[in-house]
A and B are shown apart, each in its own frame.
Chain A
Amino acid sequence: MVTFTLNGQERTFDGDPDTPLLWVIRDFEKLTGTKYGCGVAQCGACTVHLDGMPRRSCITPIATIEGSDVVTIEGVSGKEADAVKTAWAGLDVPQCGYCQSGQVMSAVALLQMVPKPTDDDIDGAMTGNICRCATYHRIRAAIHNAANSMEG
């Protein structure tokens, strides 16, 4: 039995301890904003925040997160999350949209750590998130916009 917090609520899981957090979130908790894209931490579509840090949930066995605090796209909040979502909408960043939960989660984590990121900071934080529609150009601009909007 594993006990963890999901979007502020205490949850338990007593299935196969090898089950990746991704499938616990999607199949058992039925929160579907977090996506499957590769299963091997190559694409970032499954990015969640684990104890405040971005984490690829597809390679995180549920047994390893006992007592941890998990936040998904459904639960992410705060000024960085608001700024990112507003900036994303302002530039109409998504195309197919499938990777965008992961992109947003990585961008929010970046701004929580670096309020005014440079292009290099953005490369460092966002390189793990693939977008096959290649919305990168707008992702970069939206992160800068979000950072600027938090200054005032």
Chain B
Amino acid sequence: MTIQDINTTRRAFLAGSGLVIGVAIAPKMLSAAQTGVHAGGDPALAPMNAFVKIGTDDTVTVLSKHIEFGQGPFTGLATLVAEELDADWSQMRAVHSPTDNKVYANLSFGLQGTGGSSAIANSYEQMRKAGATARAMLVAAAAEDWKVPASEITVQKGRIKHAASNKESGFGAFAEKAARQAPPAEPKLKDPKDFVLIGTDLPKLDTHGKTNGTAIFTLDITPDNLLIAVVAHPEHFGATVKSFDDAEARKVQGVVDVKQVPSGIAVYADNTFAALKGRDALSIEWDLSKAETRSSEELSADYRKLFGEKGLEATNNGNVDDAFKAPGLQAVEAEIVFPFLAHAPMEPLDAVFIKAQDGSVDIYNGAQFPGIDQSVAAKVLGLDEAKVRVNTQLAGGSFGRKAQFGSPYIQEAAAVYAATDRSRPLKHMWTREDDIRGGFYRPMYAHRMRGAINAQGQITAWEQVIVGQSIMGKADLDESSVEGASNLPYAIPNLKVSAHNVQLSIPPLWWRSVGHTHTGFAVETFVDELFQKIGKDPVEGRLALLGEKPRHAGVLRKAAEMANWGSPAPEGRARGVAVVESFGSFVGQIVEVSIGPEGAPRVHKVWCAVDCGVAVNPNVIKAQMEGGIGYGLGAVLFDAVTLAKGGKIVQSNFHDYRSIRINEMPDVAVEIIKSSEKPSGVGEPGVPPVGPAVANAWRRLTGAPVRQLPIVNIVSS
């Protein structure tokens, strides 16, 4: 982001903090299930600034600019505020902030958005300042009321005290008065050694509602007179509607209307089942003239043809070509093909549209880029952006799926709503089948690796060619295709990495940990093979080449220590290791694997060490490592979206796009490296190492390297 953006953001922040807003009389609130959860929380709470509201009941509500979909920003951002506010954890609450690309910008992006494991990293100072500002305003209000110097007032665990006059109060009594105080120009932040909440395990703020069924997700918003809409989509990418017959669909009890929209045929009904039954009753002829008709197998062959051609250069250190010509040299080669992957969050894409009396529209959705959703929806609905309010809701997962430039999902949903007279609220939803077949996959990639080992058993050269779609839609080099490979952490003197961008009508998207989903696997399995060839221990071999990479080495050593690496694995099992840096965090994992009942790897145990700088919420960090391991493991073991001969999508639901289940989940142990480096993300970095660690263990167990994913396909074929 530019300096100008930062300044704009700062001005907006200060404007927010300086606003003189009294305490509004709360309007009668309808239940959240009736209206959705309004962004910004209860309007009756006194705003200290754009991020903190304090209630007369002593509650402190943090307005989270980041969507909560399981990765923990409600708890994380509230921890940062509470620390500097000297609040008691029990008084903390969190809600989604309203949509505002300036005030609520992700400071790493320059617009509001969640992604790249950046929530804590970009909020660390901002939220602490928000807390410190609110604290100063409370103290100023108390000083004024008690007629004592502000400097003599202390705040601890949510209590404001003046010892000399024996005065004491909670926050609520001063909330209104504090909101009218001028915020300090530069609030003073604590020395990290004085932290009392950051670095400790705190109960997560969203656990309760997610345990008893009261948490409201987009799908749960059920206003009166709600219309449900689903869209029939094609089974080929790039296909369009040639003709359709809706006579049978309209006969279904509860179906209200059927309309063609740009992405397919929309069925509107009084309830969800009627909408689905109506959709099933449609008869649609699709025009395949512009559709992708190649199969995954054909795509793979086409990708691999590009290995020999000149690609887009990402890295070229030393002289790889000469290095491979050295006498006495052993050249090792491998090709690895990665499939398309669906994100498959538990809650498929959905959105609710409700028109207000003035014609403006409230949208409720799991908005990962709410500002983009807002402008896209406004355009489709023919409204000024100011007349469209995007209310971010808790989302049932995302893993990247809900962050899309151009918001194609909201475009479809808004088009479906725009095709009505807007007299009824509308919920547009995707089914699991829509989700698995809806594209925006982790692209398919093919890697060719070449390694050179000299007569002394040293790895002297590494060449890697990566073929696949550019997630960012670039014609030139897309960093997200090569990240993790182009900056290979291992000290190998001759390194060449290049890429080829492939154009397909299958829309690509980032998938939890983006490029590292494939580069981490390719790099970490290939380097492990090279170590095996030269008879080096996988941990010692890596450490020897990580001399300039202390944080990589640190997590690797810690994981080895946790796994008691030097000891023999139990009978019938083998261990594998991998270490990957992503999004500024470093994760080393060691897995223990046997041959499972399907003949596929059975992963018994994962030891995981993570270095993410200052650990704000150790409990959340551990949870993200555990979850990332499960998510990554499920994908490498079981998952692929494949195109059959003719281009039809094969998979449709969880029976053939398998998710890892509890009986397949390994025991996981996580340790966090103590660090004073600035905090970095944890939502994604747990994912990349597990796949290669399993493949490395598998190769040592069976002798068979994993050249194609998912692994279950290799062992069953």
Residues of chain A touching chain B, judged by Cβ–Cβ distance below 8 Å, are 15-16, 18-20, 23, 26-28, 30-40, 42-43, 45, 72-74, 85, 88-89, 92-101, 104, 122-123, 126-127, 129-140
Q: Assuming A38-B653, A136-B662, A138-B626, is B211 touching A100 (CB within 8 A)? A: yes
Instruction: Decide: B219 and A95 in contact? CB cutoff 8 A.
Output: no
Instruction: Decide: B271 and A28 in contact? CB cutoff 8 A.
Output: yes
Q: Assuming A32-B220, A35-B219, A138-B626, is B654 touching A42 (CB within 8 A)? A: yes
Q: Which of B220, B253, B254, B654 contacts A38 (CB 8 A)?
A: B654
Sample (8) of A-B pairs whose CB atoms are under 8 Å apart: A23-B271, A32-B220, A40-B653, A72-B213, A89-B208, A122-B662, A133-B70, A135-B623
List residues of B (643-663) whose CB comes within 8 Å of A's CBs.
653-655, 659-663
Interface size class of B (residues with CB under 8 A): 35 or more
Q: Which of B216, B273, B397 contacts A133 (CB 8 A)?
A: B397
Residues of chain B with a CB closer than 8 A to A35's CB? 217, 219, 346-347, 396
Distance in angstroms from B42 CB to nearest chain A CB is 21
* Stretch of B199-207, B296-304, B529-537 contacting A (4+ beta carbons < 8 Å): B199-207
B583 at the interface (CB under 8 A from A): no
A122 to B631 alpha-carbon distance, docked (Å): 20
* Chain B, residue nearest A40 (CB): B653
Residues of chain A with a CB closer than 8 A to B204's CB? 92, 94
Q: Which of A34, A42, A129, A136 contacts B630 (CB 8 A)?
A: A136
B395 at the interface (CB under 8 A from A): yes
Interface string of B252-282 (1 = CB under 8 A from A): 0110000000000000000111101100000
A73 to B215 alpha-carbon distance, docked (Å): 12
Instruction: Decide: B207 and A88 in contact? CB cutoff 8 A.
Output: yes
Instruction: Decide: A96 and B33 in contact? CB cutoff 8 A.
Output: no
* Chain B, residue nearest A37 (CB): B346
Enumerate the 9 nearest inter-chain pairs by beta-carbon distance, A residue then B residue, closest first.
A134-B630, A33-B213, A98-B396, A97-B210, A95-B70, A96-B70, A73-B213, A32-B220, A94-B210
Distance in angstroms from B75 CB to nearest chain A CB is 9
The interface centre, meaning the residue of A97, A127, A133 with most chain B CB atoms within 10 A of its CB, is A97
Distance in angstroms from B208 CB to nearest chain A CB is 6
Q: Which of B212, B216, B628 contacts A73 (CB 8 A)?
A: B212
A122 to B69 alpha-carbon distance, docked (Å): 26
A72 to B220 alpha-carbon distance, docked (Å): 15
A96 to B311 alpha-carbon distance, docked (Å): 40
B667 at the interface (CB under 8 A from A): yes
Distance in angstroms from B232 CB to nearest chain A CB is 15
Residues of chain B with a CB closer than 8 A to A101's CB? 213
Residues of chain B with a CB closer than 8 A to A37's CB? 346-348, 432, 654
Q: Which of B222, B273, B654, B662 contacts A43 (CB 8 A)?
A: B654
A98 to B627 alpha-carbon distance, docked (Å): 14
* Chain A, residue nearest B619 (CB): A92
* Chain A, residue nearest B665 (CB): A136
A93 to B619 alpha-carbon distance, docked (Å): 11
A88 to B206 alpha-carbon distance, docked (Å): 12
List residues of B (605-653) whose CB comes within 8 Å of A's CBs.
619, 623, 626-631, 633-634, 653
A35 to B396 alpha-carbon distance, docked (Å): 10
Instruction: Decide: B663 and A127 in contact? CB cutoff 8 A.
Output: yes
A31 to B219 alpha-carbon distance, docked (Å): 12
A97 to B71 alpha-carbon distance, docked (Å): 11
Instruction: Decide: A27 and B346 in contact? CB cutoff 8 A.
Output: no
Q: Assuming A18-B277, A89-B208, A132-B346, is B33 touching A32 (CB within 8 A)? A: yes
